[in-house]
Structure 1
Amino acid sequence: MSHEGTPPPRSPRASYTEMTELVLPQHSNAIGSAFGGTVLAWMDVCAAIAAQRHCGRVAVTAAIDNVKFLAPMRVGDVVVLAARVNAAFSSSVEVEIEVQVEDRATMHRRLCVDAFMTFVCVDETGKAVKVPPLLCETADDERRAKEAAARRARRLAER
């Protein structure tokens, strides 16, 4: 890992990323539901942008945890993906991502998928680098960071 100086702390709010997609026929299976792989690809992009906003450089996917497909997304659905950094470690960050379908008439959103993704921040050569510490601004930020640390400990214990 590159040992350049530690960058200044950044808040979870600074990493917040939202993307909107439309489920098209090419994204769906024979019954009109979005392919899980397509949704995972959208999630990877959205979460990577959140990680890169925190790190200030390229971030690569290291792990995807606890993916829960809770409800289907159908052809024609407007899909809203939202991601934010929950915790920063030495050279990695945990990003929480939620995927919701938005009702066109009411603008009400329904949760369809959620997951936690880990990204490693790298330099131009692909070598891991230190990431900025997370600056928790709220009790919710603190709770999310603590829960992320527990998930990380479990993940590392499973290696």
Structure 2
Amino acid sequence: MTKAKPVANSAIENHVYKVFPNDMNAQNTVFGGMIMAKCDRLALVVAERHSGHVCVTAAVDSIHFRAPAKGNDTLLFSLSLNRSWGSSMEIGARVMAENSYTGKVRHILSAFFTFVALDPASKPVEVLAVLPETDEQIRRFSNAEIRRKGRLAMRNQLQDK
């Protein structure tokens, strides 16, 4: 049995979403919640591809809106598994906005999602490790452990209050 799966086995690269007027808010920029929801759905695909199980969102953290998306933009969603621990997995999301007419690309969002894999009885089930292969994947793998320690420390501090 395989002990780890490469990041590329479950990654999504440049999933395309064309922005239309119904995606806009009163500021004439794309609703942040719509972008977040699409990231959550795509992160679910990454988690289920990696684990082979039904997965649920356990946490979302470090959502950073770096720039607004506008009308006539095409959004490019890229997500990949950064690391797994037991039944949980961290998936990183990066969203770019491409101007459909000029081709100019802007980084508009970065976020991290934690998913838990479930067995048929809805109990957490262990998932395979992830195998980072590129320098960038190795960096994300290492940084995921730092973020996890921070999440656990915060949870413990809040439980102590």
Normalised to the residue count of structure 2, the TM-score between the two structures is 0.88
Match of 1:122 in 2: 118
Listed as ranges, the matches of 1:1-159 within 5 Å are 8-18=3-13, 19-105=15-101, 107-159=103-155
What is the count of residue pairs matched by the alignment? 154
Cα offset, 1:78, TM superposition: 0.6
Partner secondary structure for residue 123 of structure 2: coil
Q: In the superposition, relative to structure 1, how do residues 123 and 107 fare at CA in structure 2: closer, same or farther (>3 Å)?
A: farther
**Which stretches in structure 1 are left out of the alignment for 5+ residues?**
1-5
* CA distance in 2: counterparts of 1:128 and 1:17, whole angstroms: 24
Normalised to the residue count of structure 1, the TM-score between the two structures is 0.89
Identity of aligned residues (%): 36
Cα offset, 1:141, TM superposition: 2.4
Cα offset, 1:56, TM superposition: 1.3
Which ranges of 4 or more aligned residues in structure 1 deviate by more than 6 Å?
none
* CA distance in 1: counterparts of 2:120 and 2:98, whole angstroms: 38
* CA distance in 2: counterparts of 1:121 and 1:7, whole angstroms: 18
Contact 2:72 2:99 in 1 (8 A): no
* CA distance in 1: counterparts of 2:53 and 2:97, whole angstroms: 30
Contact 2:117 2:126 in 1 (8 A): yes
Partner AA of 2:32 in structure 1: G
* CA distance in 2: counterparts of 1:155 and 1:7, whole angstroms: 29
Q: In the superposition, relative to structure 1, how do residues 72 and 110 fare at CA in structure 2: closer, same or farther (>3 Å)?
A: same
Q: Which has the higher contact order (CA 8 A, sep 6+)?
A: 1
The structure with the largest strand share of the pair is 2
